[in-house]
Chains A and B, each alone.
Chain A
Amino acid sequence: MARGRNRPCPLCESGIRYINYKDESTLSRFMTDAGKILPRRTTGMCARHQRQVGTAVKRARYLALVPYTYVYTD
Chain B
Amino acid sequence: MREYEIVYIFDPVLTEDQINERLDRFHAHITEAGGEITAVDHWGKRQLAYPINKKTSGYYVVVQFTAEASILPELERTLKLDDDLVRYLIVLSEGEPTAPMSIATREPREDDEDDDEDDDEDDLDDEEED
**B112 CB to nearest A CB, Å:** 8
A64 touches B124 (CB 8 A): no
Interface size on B, residues (CB 8 A): 37
Task: Give per-residue flags for A24-57: 1 if the beta carbon is below 8 A from chain B beta carbons, else 0.
Answer: 1110110010000010011110000000000000
Q: How large is the interface on A (under 10, 10 to 19, 20 to 34, 35 or more residues)?
A: 35 or more
B106, closest chain A residue (CB): A26
User: CB of B87 within 8 A of chain A?
Assistant: yes
Interface SS of A by simple majority = loop
* Residue with the highest number of chain B CB atoms closer than 10 Å, among A16, A25, A64: A64
Q: Which residues of A contact B7 (CB under 8 A)?
A: 22, 63
Q: Which residues of B contact A62 (CB under 8 A)?
A: 87, 89
Number of A-B contacts (CB under 8 A): 89
A residues bordering B, Cβ < 8 Å? 3-4, 7, 10, 13-26, 28-29, 32, 38, 41-44, 59, 61-68, 72, 74
B111, closest chain A residue (CB): A13
A26 touches B105 (CB 8 A): yes
Q: Which residues of B contact A17 (CB under 8 A)?
A: 104
Query: Which of B22-30, B32-40, B46-54 binds A?
Result: B46-54
**A69 CB to nearest B CB, Å:** 8
B105 touches A44 (CB 8 A): no
